[in-house]
């Protein structure tokens, strides 16, 4: 009787196992052939299964990821972040927008499956491709931004300057209003600002908005004219006035600008003895060519620009006070880009569109890249921003520009012209052996120091995220640094 009971129980167990096996196979079949992309990990974050729909949607094959930990997959840039990892930590349903292989966006929902003790047994993640929706949303956002900024953008003539007057900040709005006010009058204008802030753009705007906008606009780089050629270039010369002179003579820059506008860029570079001759022309509004006796009366709009403090040069007796009074009737000062952060996003958008049209390519820039660029110090101002945007557009192979594509100095927000404004660089400079006997370069020393600090933080933390917090970095930045330095999680 007992033997019969044992046989019955064994038969029942075998039947139940067969049923479980059948259910398991059915579940695997459901997962495998589901039209939704499914991605399953165990309680430790190791990938158990990836279905066919997931492979087709994402381009990630099961054989690439099954058996691997999701943290390693993030580190190796299969995707930018993991909803499954978040669900494991929170033990709750988690939905995020995930960028996979730096190309496609997906809505990802991770559902943790809990056991009787309310511990996570596994996490089942479903994905839905929203790349096209994301693209449409981005286009809509760009269109809205363009619509909002139309009144803040004055496009210049194609042959005037490579970028327009694009702004969003209150200081630049105030400056724009002042330009519109003074442009119609032929008053002398002095434009000051750091190199690369766009002084030439303002000069072009003044010319366009003035009564002489259909006439000549002559731009003169005073720093590029040798002192011995200053008079002949600025005021011209008569026929046969000196050896090598043109037989027919030559009009100077001021004559060329007659009834138009002349821009004297970097006027602070003009040597003191030559300033007297320039002052005479400005006072009399007339020039006499070298080797000639005829005085030629002129009508022109004078704009001067400089990145120097002319008032200080006057005090140092390096710039004539009477010349300064003559050119400084209206003063327009452009603040550096670091003091008008609100202008950076519209400038990024403007340069993105400009270079995409110029090179006939399509690129999109991620929001976190815009944020990083906005936080950067920009010692080279708008000119530097324009160069960086051109670099990003022509050097990236993907259609999406991500933080990984940024130059290292911008990723780390280093300002080499003003290092004291950046705590991270100050810390490196004070703790790294810049001058040492180990023959290491500054870059090698900084990387070694970074590696040591990251290893200490990772070893003393329970997760990469907490290590990032300890180091004062965001999670994605730490992962990028670890990858660059060859540190395994």
- The CATH code of the domain that includes 59 is 3.30.450.20
- Are residues 427 and 329 located together in one domain of the fold? no
- Are residues 290 and 165 located together in one domain of the fold? yes
User: Confidence band (pLDDT; 50, 70, 90) for 144?
Assistant: very low
pLDDT of residue 261: 93
Q: What is the pLDDT of residues 276-288, one digit of tens each?
A: 999 999 999 999 9
| Contact call for residues 233 and 239 (beta carbons, < 8 A) | no
pLDDT of residue 117: 86
Q: Is the pLDDT of residue 147 over 70?
A: no
- Are residues 122 and 186 located together in one domain of the fold? no
Q: Of the residues 303, 335, 367, which one is the last residue of a structural domain?
A: 335
| Paired sense of beta strands 47-50 and 120-129, if any | unpaired
| Contact call for residues 455 and 445 (beta carbons, < 8 A) | no
Q: Is the pLDDT of residue 11 over 80?
A: no
For range 389-406, the mean pLDDT: 89
Provide, rounded to the nearest whole percent, the portion of the chain with pLDDT above 70.
Answer: 75
- Are residues 13 and 52 located together in one domain of the fold? no
- Are residues 235 and 161 located together in one domain of the fold? yes
Provide, rounded to the nearest whole percent, the portion of the chain with pLDDT above 90.
Answer: 29
- Are residues 328 and 353 located together in one domain of the fold? no
Residue 125: CB atoms within 10 Å: 25
- Are residues 160 and 44 located together in one domain of the fold? no
Q: What is the pLDDT of residues 427-477, one digit of tens each?
A: 333 333 334 344 556 666 677 777 877 887 787 777 787 777 777 777 777
Q: Of the residues 307, 335, 363, which one is the last residue of a structural domain?
A: 335
Is 382 inside a domain boundary? yes
For range 102-129, the mean pLDDT: 84
Q: Of the residues 300, 335, 370, which one is the last residue of a structural domain?
A: 335
For range 77-97, the mean pLDDT: 86
Q: Calculate the average pLDDT of the chain.
A: 79
CATH (domain of 387): 1.10.8.60
Is 243 inside a domain boundary? yes
For range 120-139, the mean pLDDT: 67
pLDDT of residue 22: 58
Is 463 inside a domain boundary? yes
Token couple for 248: 């027919």
- Are residues 169 and 118 located together in one domain of the fold? no
Please tell me the pTM assigned to this model.
0.55
Q: Is the pLDDT of residue 24 over 70?
A: no
The count of structural domains within the chain is: 4
- Are residues 197 and 176 located together in one domain of the fold? yes
Q: What is the pLDDT of residues 31-84, one digit of tens each?
A: 665 667 888 999 999 998 888 888 888 888 989 999 999 988 988 888 888 889
- Are residues 70 and 118 located together in one domain of the fold? yes
Residue 39: CB atoms within 10 Å: 27
Lowest mean pLDDT among 84-88, 168-172, 239-243, 388-392: 239-243
| Contact call for residues 425 and 442 (beta carbons, < 8 A) | no
Structural domain for 10, as ranges: 1-28
Cα within 13 Å of Cα(177), Cβ side: 7
Lowest mean pLDDT among 6-10, 240-244, 313-317, 428-432: 428-432
Is 281 inside a domain boundary? yes
For range 194-217, the mean pLDDT: 84
pLDDT of residue 58: 85
CATH (domain of 257): 3.40.50.300
Is 133 inside a domain boundary? no
* Of residues 379 and 140, more confidently modeled: 379
């Amino acid at each position: 009787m007992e033997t019969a009971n044992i046989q019955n129980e064994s038969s029942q167990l075998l039947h139940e196992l067969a049923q479980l096996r059948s259910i398991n196979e059915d579940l695997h079949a459901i997962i495998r052939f589901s039209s939704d992309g499914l991605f399953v990990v165990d309680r430790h974050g190791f990938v158990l299964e990836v279905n066919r729909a997931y492979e087709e949607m994402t381009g990630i094959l099961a054989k690439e990821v099954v058996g691997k930990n999701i943290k390693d997959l993030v580190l190796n840039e299969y995707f930018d972040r993991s909803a499954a990892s978040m669900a494991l930590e929170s033990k709750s349903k988690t939905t995020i927008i995930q960028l996979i292989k730096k190309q496609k966006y997906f809505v990802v929902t991770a559902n943790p499956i809990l056991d009787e003790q309310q511990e996570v047994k596994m996490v089942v993640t479903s994905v839905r491709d929203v790349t096209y929706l994301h693209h449409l949303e981005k286009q809509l956002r760009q269109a809205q931004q363009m619509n909002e900024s139309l009144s803040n953008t004055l496009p210049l003539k194609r042959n005037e300057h490579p970028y327009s007057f694009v702004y969003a900040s209150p200081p630049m709005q105030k400056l724009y209003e002042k330009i519109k006010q003074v442009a119609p009058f032929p008053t002398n204008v002095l434009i000051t600002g750091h190199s690369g802030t766009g002084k030439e753009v303002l000069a072009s705007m003044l010319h366009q908005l003035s009564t002489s906008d259909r006439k000549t606009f002559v731009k003169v780089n005073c720093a590029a004219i040798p002192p011995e050629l200053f008079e002949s270039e600025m005021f011209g010369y008569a026929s046969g006035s000196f050896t090598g002179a043109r037989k027919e003579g030559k009009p100077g820059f001021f004559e060329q600008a007659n009834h138009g506008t002349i821009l004297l860029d970097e006027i602070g570079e003009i040597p003191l003895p030559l300033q007297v001759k320039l002052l005479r022309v400005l006072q009399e509004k007339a020039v006499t060519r070298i080797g000639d006796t005829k005085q030629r009366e002129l009508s022109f709009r004078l704009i001067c620009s400089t990145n120097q403090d002319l008032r200080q040069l006057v005090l140092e007796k390096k710039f004539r006070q009477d010349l300064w009074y003559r050119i400084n009737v209206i003063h327009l000062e452009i603040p550096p880009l670091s003091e008008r952060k609100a202008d950076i996003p519209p400038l990024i958008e403007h340069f993105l569109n400009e270079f995409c049209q110029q090179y006939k390519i399509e690129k999109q820039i991620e929001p976190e890249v815009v944020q990083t660029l906005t936080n950067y110090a920009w010692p080279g101002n708008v000119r530097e921003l324009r160069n960086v945007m051109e670099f990003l557009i022509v050097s990236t192979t993907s259609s999406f520009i991500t933080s990984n594509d940024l130059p290292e100095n911008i990723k780390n927000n280093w300002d080499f012209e003003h290092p004291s404004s950046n705590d991270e660089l100050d810390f490196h400079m004070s703790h790294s052996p810049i001058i040492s006997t180990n023959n290491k370069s500054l870059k090698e020393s900084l990387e070694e120091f970074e590696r040591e600090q990251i290893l200490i933080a990772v070893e003393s933390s329970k997760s990469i995220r907490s290590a990032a917090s300890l180091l004062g970095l965001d999670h994605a930045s730490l992962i990028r640094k670890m990858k660059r330095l060859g540190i395994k999680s």
